[in-house]
Amino acid sequence: MAASPLNQLNSHISNMYNSGLLDEHFMEMWRLQDGEESPDFIAGLVTTFLTDGDQIFNELAQLLERPFVDLDALSNKLVQLKGCSSSVGARQVRLACVQLFKFVSQQKNRDE
């Protein structure tokens, strides 16, 4: 007999947490979600993250396609994406933003 959709979802979330894609913040939100009062709370947060994240990724791509990259604008977009990813517990995205931000900061300091 196949697992219920809820069991499949819980298993998938557990796997994403165990692999480091999600952090404890997401797991805490998941545990606190009230299915009766706000059943779509997490779905709404993730949907907002995906929409905002997609827009920020597009803006990052546009910045990086320019002959001379505006490092301040790039830094600002990385901070935005880090904030979005932190709000939903997207650990790997947040860590990538931190690393890229450090690199951009080093480049800015080198160019000054």
pLDDT digits (tens, 9 = 90+) for 41-89: 888 888 999 999 999 999 999 999 999 999 999 999 999 999 999 989 9
What topology does CATH give the domain 5-109? Four Helix Bundle (Hemerythrin (Met), subunit A) (1.20.120)
Cβ atoms of 65 and 42 closer than 8 Å: no
Nearest to 46 by CA among 100, 9, 76: 9
CA distance 59 to 81: 11
Q: What is the pLDDT of residue 42?
A: 84
Percent of the chain whose pLDDT exceeds 70: 94
Quick check: 1 pLDDT over 60? no
38-52 pLDDT, tens digit each: 778 888 888 999 999
Against a cut of 0.85, is the pTM above it? no
CA distance 83 to 90: 10
CA 25 to chain centre: 12
Return the domain boundaries, the chain. Answer: 5-109
Q: What is the pLDDT of residue 34?
A: 66
